[in-house]
Structure 1
Amino acid sequence: MTYKADILDRLFETVAERKDADPTSSYTARLYAKGTAKIAQKVGEEGVELALAAVQKNRDEIISESADLFYHMCVLWADAGVAPSEIYAKLVAREGLSGLDEKAMRTDD
């Protein structure tokens, strides 16, 4: 079965729509109600869990934790007012650049 990357756009739309939902009936709304620090914490936790799954070479956990990380990143983006298209544009702008060259071009390091 083939899956398309537009699932991220649909996921983002869903989590963005739940910003004003009832926190007692929606995990996503509960995250928003707890604030940006909690959302950021969840992104960090999922990133660590993904890294640990990679170290353990646990393929199923890598897949599961990657999906969790994508979900929490979408919540963070919506909370910050960042659209997926902005992330995609940044990736396109970096396409073809070596990572070292791209890092050297940054002014915030």
Structure 2
Amino acid sequence: MRDWNILEELWQVIQDRAEHPSAESYVSSILTHRKGVDKSLEKVGEEAVEFIIAAKNQVPERTISEAADLLFHFLVALKASGTDVADVLDELAARRK
């Protein structure tokens, strides 16, 4: 099994960009966009469609790449919506019981 710590590290970076916006940061540009949370949700939708197409067409490299993009933008959208990823993880854990 792979190291899942990368998701925690990524979440920390997203939180840092939210707390300390930077003009050079892609994450900051999404979180501070004039469209508000809608911008991050648009990105999730875009990446979800790209993932679906790659998976449907059975292109492993693209499926992996688009899955990574989708996970990343999903985390950014969680932050933009004021949702803590820990709460999502707690919900998943509760469903396993």
Looking at structure 2, the residues matched to 78 and 13 of structure 1 have their Cα atoms a distance apart, in angstroms, of: 11
**Residue equivalent to 1:29:** 28
| Deviant stretches of 4+, over 6 Å | none
Contact 1:9 1:84 in 2 (8 A): no
Shift in Å at residue 91 of structure 1?
1.0
Looking at structure 2, the residues matched to 88 and 26 of structure 1 have their Cα atoms a distance apart, in angstroms, of: 26
- Residue type of the partner of 1:22? S
**Stretches of structure 1 lacking an aligned partner (at least 5 in a row):** 97-109
Looking at structure 2, the residues matched to 88 and 44 of structure 1 have their Cα atoms a distance apart, in angstroms, of: 21
> Based on CA coordinates, which of the two structures has the bigger radius of gyration?
1
Identity rate, percent: 31
CA RMSD, 1 decimal: 1.4
**Residue equivalent to 1:43:** 44
For normalisation by structure 1, the TM-score amounts to 0.79
**Stretches of structure 2 lacking an aligned partner (at least 5 in a row):** none
Deviations 1:31-85 (A, max 9, x none): 1121210110000110111000011001111110111111111111111222221
Aligned residues: 94
